[in-house]
Amino acid sequence: MSENLPATSREPVFNIPGVLLALIAVLFLVHLGRTWLLTEDGDLQFLVWFAFIPARYDSALLQSLSPSDVIPDGLGPQIWTFITYAFLHADWTHLFVNAIWLLPFGTAVARRFGAFRFAMIFAATSVAGALAHLLTHSGQIVFMIGASGAVSGLMAAAIRFAFQSGGPIEGWRRADASSYLIPAAPLSVALRNPRVMIFVLVWFAMNILFGVGVSVVPGGPQEIAWQTHIGGFLAGLILFPFFDPVGASQHNAAAEDHNDGGDPPFR
């Protein structure tokens, strides 16, 4: 007696989720609008309202500025710039680099999370990156822009499940949709996976080089908000379970299998 099993859907390697395509399209449209529609002064005013500026949260400093240097400090820009800065980029190179990094890691996370959860973790890691920048640049009049903090957060979220046995990196040639939905191990277990640790160590090493002023990207920007990268990355690692649609019970089962000597979540 035979039983018809549901066919396993396959995800083509280059099938980009719609929410990710929409995000990248918005990033490009914003930059196109700034480049083609705004004058230099208009673009500066646009940045004043939507870039993340640590000085915006120092009322004493803002009161001391001359009228021509006034930075809007109302509740609106104090809130929305924690996210809107991620949609702004310094130039086309900056935008293309972030878009290229978004494609692999954003695709993995979007396939697992779905559109709404993907948008939420993008926003959450953007906020975390801005907070890290604010803590390290308090009171400074610097315009921080770019999606790098959120991209770093998506990288961190992706490695929480991508390196597991049967995960999307191991099975990328098969492109099995189920590989994006395997239970993720707890962070304490994930960080014992050699592949995860190598990725994390290399990632932090690159950002430390950014911090000491060494450019590891040919032709890259001279000033890189590496603190924002770290804030977003740590948020992606830590907040992953709060957004993950795979149930907490499955996380616990994966950990129990590992502790009981069963099939480990990594190999």
pLDDT given for residue 130 in this prediction = 96
In a domain, 125, yes or no: yes
**Long-range interactions of 30-34: CB distance < 8 A, separation 24+:** 30/87, 30/88, 31/88, 31/89, 31/92, 31/95, 34/88
Return the pLDDT at 226: 87
CATH assignment at residue 91: 1.20.1540.10
Hey, which of 14-18, 40-44, 259-263 has the most confident mean pLDDT? Answer: 40-44
In a domain, 5, yes or no: no
Q: How far apart are CA 241 and CA 28, in angstroms?
A: 30
Identify the pLDDT of residue 67.
56
Is residue 123 included in any domain, yes or no? yes
Q: Are 138 and 58 in contact (CB under 8 A)?
A: yes
Query: According to the per-residue pLDDT averaged within each range, which of 41-50, 119-128, 175-184, 187-196 is highest?
Result: 119-128
Closest of 112, 114, 113, 150 to residue 130, by C-alpha:
150
Contact in structure between 84 and 34 (CB atoms under 8 Å): no
6 found inside a domain: no
Domain range for 106: 18-259
**Is the full-model pTM beyond 0.85?**
no
Domain membership flag for residue 1:
no
Domain count, the chain: 1
Residue 266 lies in a domain: no
Q: What is the mean pLDDT of the chain?
A: 81
Residue 102 contacts residue 109 (beta carbons within 8 Å):
no
Mean pLDDT of 128-132: 96
**93 lies in some domain:** yes
